[in-house]
């Protein structure tokens, strides 16, 4: 059954109006009147519906039944130093698949900020969540300076990928499941010493992944997989 995200308020209606990007995806799938679909509000609410009307610009689906789903993932926020080109888009897609709950793009000394397309980033997250069958839609925060991102971090376990004076990742992971985790990854070239010191002062533990130096778009994904395997839903049915 095809999965489509709609606004939370729209899913409360007995007949859900589908428009915008979601309708475009429905059109690409060539769905017709009478086809059943699965509607998600991105907050854990799901509804099985059947298409009753399909026009040139919108569709209507009658809700047949509703339910709630939760995720058994470790709540994980990725604070990512903005990389070059379109690497952040790749990070968003793969991060959603690996169970990241929230993304905070960060401007640091070695980042190359440019005209960002926030709406495009949101569409990438939604499509990745749909494809990977996640009932909850990860959040995307506005691009912000590193200092602001550090000051606003509230997660209980805070890890920073930093190759200098750091602990092996396994040595920094607690035996008990943390309530939440924030993972800080630098852009190409990493963080400056002053930035790393500021992160440590904000409660981040510098960790490394051994002798190899991973690219910025690889490092965060590798750690996300390790964390979900240890604390999250990897290995469950």
Model pLDDT, residue 213: 84
End-to-end CA distance of the chain: 19
Mode of pairing for the β-strands spanning 76-81 and 102-107: parallel
Phi first, then psi, for residue 157 (nearest 5°) are -105, 125
Mention the CATH class of domain 2-68: mainly beta
Q: CB neighbours (10 Å) of residue 122?
A: 16
Mention every residue, 6+ apart, whose C-beta is less than 8 A from residue 45.
Answer: 8, 11, 66, 67, 68
- Does the pLDDT value for residue 236 go beyond 70? no
Predicted confidence at residue 198, as pLDDT, reads: 97
The whole-chain average pLDDT of the chain stands at 92
DSSP 84: S
Domain ranges across the chain: 2-68, 76-231
Q: From the options 3.40.1280.10, 3.30.479.30, 3.30.300.30, 2.60.120.380, give the CATH code of 76-231.
A: 3.40.1280.10
Q: Which pLDDT score, from 0 to 100, does residue 237 have? A: 59
This prediction's pTM = 0.90
Q: Going along 151-236, which residue ranges are E strands?
A: 157-161, 167-168, 181-185, 205-208
Give the count of beta carbons closer than 10 Å to the beta carbon of residue 46. 17
225, exposed or middle or buried, with CB in 10 Å at 0-12, 13-18, 19+?
A: middle
Residue for token digits 């925060």? 141
pLDDT at 56: 86
Asked whether the predicted pLDDT for residue 157 surpasses 80, the reply is yes
pLDDT of residue 72: 87
Taking a C-beta distance cutoff of 8 angstroms, is the pair 76, 181 a contact?
A: yes
pLDDT digits (tens, 9 = 90+) for 78-133: 999 999 888 999 999 999 999 999 999 999 988 876 666 888 999 999 999 999 99
Task: Kindly state the tokens that stand for 58.
Answer: 């919108």
Dist. CA 132–CA 93, nearest whole Å:
10
DSSP state of 164: S
Which pLDDT tens digit goes with each residue over 163-209? 887 899 999 999 999 999 999 999 998 899 999 999 999 999 999 99
Sign of torsion over alpha carbons 24, 95, 3, 18: negative
In the Cβ-directed half-sphere of 3, how many Cα atoms lie within 13 Å? 17
34-43 average pLDDT score: 94
């Amino acid at each position: 059954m095809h999965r489509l995200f709609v606004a939370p308020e729209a899913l409360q209606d007995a007949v859900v109006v589908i428009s915008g990007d979601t309708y475009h995806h429905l059109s690409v799938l060539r769905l017709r009147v009478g086809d059943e679909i699965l509607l998600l509000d991105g907050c854990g609410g799901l509804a099985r519906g059947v298409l009753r009307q399909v026009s040139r610009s919108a569709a209507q689906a009658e809700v047949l039944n509703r339910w709630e789903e939760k995720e058994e993932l470790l709540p994980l926020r990725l604070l990512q130093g903005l990389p070059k080109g379109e690497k952040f888009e790749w990070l968003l897609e793969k991060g959603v698949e690996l169970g990241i709950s929230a993304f905070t793009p960060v401007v640091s000394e070695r980042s190359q900020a440019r005209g960002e397309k926030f709406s495009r980033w949101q569409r990438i997250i939604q499509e990745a969540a749909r494809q990977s069958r996640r009932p909850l839609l990860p959040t995307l925060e506005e691009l912000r300076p590193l200092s602001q991102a550090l000051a606003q971090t509230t997660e209980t376990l805070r890890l920073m990928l930093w190759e200098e004076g750091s602990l092996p990742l396994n040595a920094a992971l607690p035996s008990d499941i943390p309530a939440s985790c924030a993972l800080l990854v630098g852009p190409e070239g990493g963080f400056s010493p002053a930035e790393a010191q500021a992160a440590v002062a904000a409660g981040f533990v510098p960790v490394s992944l051994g002798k190899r130096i991973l690219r910025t778009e690889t490092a965060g994904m590798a750690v996300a997989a390790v964390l979900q395997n240890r604390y999250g839903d990897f290995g469950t049915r």
